[in-house]
């Protein structure tokens, strides 16, 4: 691409970034002062009841910045439309919580790919939460969320060829979906927390935030590795999760229906016909610290098994290489894997089990079985530094490094076929997130991808991005 075109592309993206920031920034300092001086909003401003508090304490311990998955367990910040002319407060007093948010991700690749391009993609989510204690006098919370995804994918438009998308919010069909339709309550005198209905496994298992824009650092890692049967947002799966909590430790198990029809572009709560098996994850977790605002830590280890038949990635039905015979693949009776998630706050203080200032580090690692998984492992490490500058509230600096690995059996098969063999893709991202308004968060970011697609002979990929979260 001619140099002039690259410069023009950079200028267009920078104008978009700084134009949006400058439009919102004049009142940032005033907004911060107000936030510090004002008391915490009353419970009536959102359905922050004892049910919600118990659910928050029983969550699986993601202490990192806010999750783009629409965290149904935590009251949202004040929105662009304020109190909706008093309707939010009235509904909240009746036990009805209403939420709305739009997340946008823009990206430009000045380096790498088949061409240089600028794209934007986004997700709208609208949520309804019912506090059944207030409404019907029974324990429990009902959550319903619909999502809509739109826009264009930079990976596809620019031919980046990456294993992990540089705009994580794109994918699973640009369409409307019923993403959440579940009921959560405690049973056996509060000993067991139960959640049943339509949900994504990543809401409860291997849970991690989506503060980064690169998919390598976003959401539940198993869904990034074995997405053919572990569906992350916005696709849901029918199932039930049961969690036993003892102090700051917990164990939980779930079963989700595996149904490829859930990937269809249809506005439905899910399908029952056409299921192929069950996804059964188990997780052990421990949350440490948090007493008196002390640093918090979260430690999780888990595993899963899928009972659905899955094709072997290399062998045919006669246990010979498919690339030589072109016969149907050997059918395996199950798939499996495991994960480790570690988050630890090193400095600063915490509130309600979440870090609110200081330095935190994280490590996420997932390994899938090598018989059925093309991508068999991913590891990501990084840090969050919160409260860097006094001009903005809840500002955070994020830095992450990740390796996504293609199954070595697949690589040997590619060599046997005379094709370039895939190995590991390495990704890095640096972002800074800040709130020029309470209802707006901006996260400009820089991404770098080495060995895109796991190929050693491709150009490096560099992406300049802007992630924007708008609370309605």
pLDDT tens for each residue of 191-231: 899 999 999 999 999 999 999 999 999 999 999 999 999 99
How confident is the prediction for the chain on average, in pLDDT?
84
User: Are residues 471 and 76 in contact, defined by beta-carbon separation less than 8 angstroms?
Assistant: yes
pLDDT in tens, 30-43: 333 333 233 223 33
User: Are residues 425 and 452 in contact, defined by beta-carbon separation less than 8 angstroms?
Assistant: yes
Domain count, the chain: 1
H-assigned helices in 164-243: 221-225
CA separation, residue 142 to residues 43, 190, 196, 453 (Å): 18, 17, 10, 41
Determine the distance from the C-alpha atom of residue 470 to the mean position of all C-alpha atoms in its chain, rounded to a whole number.
17
Place of tokens 């994580």: 168
DSSP at 294: -
Determine the distance from the C-alpha atom of residue 142 to the mean position of all C-alpha atoms in its chain, rounded to a whole number.
21
pLDDT over threshold 90, residue 66 = no
* pTM (2 d.p.): 0.82
- The enclosing domain of 262 has a CATH number of 2.40.160.180
Domain of 257 in residue numbering reads as 3-471
Segment (H or E) for 324: helix 322-325
pLDDT of residue 274: 87
pLDDT over threshold 90, residue 412 = yes
**Rounded CA separation 404/413 (Å):** 19
Q: Is the peptide bond before 424 cis (omega within 30 degrees of 0)?
A: no
pLDDT over threshold 60, residue 12 = no
- Backbone φ and ψ for 358, nearest 5 degrees, come out as 90, -170
pLDDT in tens, 441-461: 999 999 999 999 999 999 999
pLDDT over threshold 90, residue 25 = no
pLDDT of residue 422: 95
| Paired residues of 444 in beta bridges | 466
CA separation, residue 398 to residues 102, 294, 349, 359 (Å): 21, 21, 17, 10
The string over 123-140, giving b where at least 16 C-beta atoms fall within 10 Å of a residue's C-beta and e elsewhere, is: bbbbbbbbbbbeeeeeeb
User: Are residues 192 and 186 in contact, defined by beta-carbon separation less than 8 angstroms?
Assistant: yes
């Amino acid at each position: 691409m001619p140099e002039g075109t690259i410069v023009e592309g950079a200028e267009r993206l920078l104008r978009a970034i700084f134009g949006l920031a400058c439009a919102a920034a004049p009142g940032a300092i005033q907004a911060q002062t107000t936030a510090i001086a004002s008391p915490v909003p009353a419970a009536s401003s959102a359905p922050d009841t004892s049910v919600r508090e118990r659910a928050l304490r029983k969550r699986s311990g993601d202490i990192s910045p806010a999750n783009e998955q629409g965290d149904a367990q935590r009251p949202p910040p004040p929105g662009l439309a304020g109190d909706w002319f008093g309707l939010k407060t009235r509904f909240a007093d009746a036990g009805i919580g209403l939420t709305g948010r739009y997340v946008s991700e823009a990206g430009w690749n000045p380096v790498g790919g088949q061409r240089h391009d600028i794209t934007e993609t986004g997700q709208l989510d609208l949520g309804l939460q019912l506090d059944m204690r207030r409404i019907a006098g029974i324990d429990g919370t009902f959550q319903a969320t619909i999502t809509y995804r739109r826009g264009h994918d930079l990976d596809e438009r620019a031919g980046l060829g990456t294993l992990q998308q540089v705009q994580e919010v794109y994918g699973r069909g640009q369409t409307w979906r019923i993403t959440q339709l579940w009921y959560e309550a405690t049973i056996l005198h509060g000993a067991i927390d139960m959640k049943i209905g339509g949900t994504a496994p990543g809401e409860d298992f291997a849970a991690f935030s989506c503060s980064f824009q690169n998919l390598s650092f976003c959401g539940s890692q198993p869904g990034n590795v074995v997405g053919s049967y572990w569906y992350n947002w916005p696709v849901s799966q029918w199932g039930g999760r049961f969690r036993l909590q003892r102090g700051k430790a917990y164990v939980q198990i779930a079963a989700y229906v595996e149904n490829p029809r859930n990937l269809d572009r249809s506005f439905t709560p899910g399908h029952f016909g056409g299921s192929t098996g069950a996804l059964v994850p188990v997780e052990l977790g421990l949350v440490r610290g948090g007493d008196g605002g002390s640093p918090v830590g979260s430690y999780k280890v888990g595993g899963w098994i899928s009972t659905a038949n899955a094709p072997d990635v290399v062998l045919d039905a006669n246990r010979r290489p498919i690339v030589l015979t072109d016969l149907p693949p050997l059918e395996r009776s199950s798939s499996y894997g495991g994960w480790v998630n570690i988050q630890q706050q090193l400095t600063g203080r915490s509130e309600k089990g979440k870090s609110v200032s200081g330095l935190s580090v994280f490590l996420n690692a997932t390994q899938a079985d090598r018989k059925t998984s093309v991508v068999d492992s991913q590891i990501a490490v990084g840090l969050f530094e919160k409260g860097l500058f006094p001009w903005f509230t809840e500002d955070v600096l994020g830095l992450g490094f990740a390796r996504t690995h293609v199954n070595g059996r697949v690589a040997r098969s590619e060599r046997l076929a005379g094709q370039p063999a895939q190995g590991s893709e390495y990704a890095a991202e640096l972002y800074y997130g800040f709130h020029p308004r309470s209802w707006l968060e901006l996260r400009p970011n820089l991404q770098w991808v080495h060995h895109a697609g796991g190929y050693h002979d491709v150009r490096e990929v560099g992406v300049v991005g802007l992630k924007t979260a708008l609370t309605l």
